[in-house]
Structure 1
């Protein structure tokens, strides 16, 4: 997985991120499995927001 610095934050994040909005449409257990797989494959940038409710 390619890693880059996120702006001036000093954070090192994967170039591929995970957009979490669709997670609210599936069960908690399914979401947990998918998120864990993404993390295990090297993704460490997860895009979510409070307005996404369950995401």
Structure 2
């Protein structure tokens, strides 16, 4: 996986991100499998938003 520095921080993020919109179409168990595989492949940038119905809950995001 290729990583790039995030802005002026020292954080390195994968150039391939994981979008949260499709997560709303699968169950929590499937979400866990997909997310774990993404992490195994080196993805560390996950995008989600409140407007994506239950994707934040499935990705275990919090304020």
The answer to whether the superposition gives a TM-score over 0.5 is yes
Question: Which deviates more, 5-14 or 29-38?
Answer: 5-14
1:22 partner SS: helix
What is the TM-score when the length of structure 1 is the normalising length?
Answer: 0.89
Answer 1 or 2: higher relative contact order, Cα 8 Å, separation at least 6.
Answer: 1
RMSD of Structure 2 on Structure 1 (CA): 1.0
What is the TM-score when the length of structure 2 is the normalising length?
Answer: 0.79
Question: Which deviates more, 16-25 or 4-13?
Answer: 4-13
Aligned partner of 1:45 in structure 2 is 45
Unaligned 5+ segments in structure 2 are 56-63
Superposed structure 1 runs of 4+ greater than 2 Å apart: none
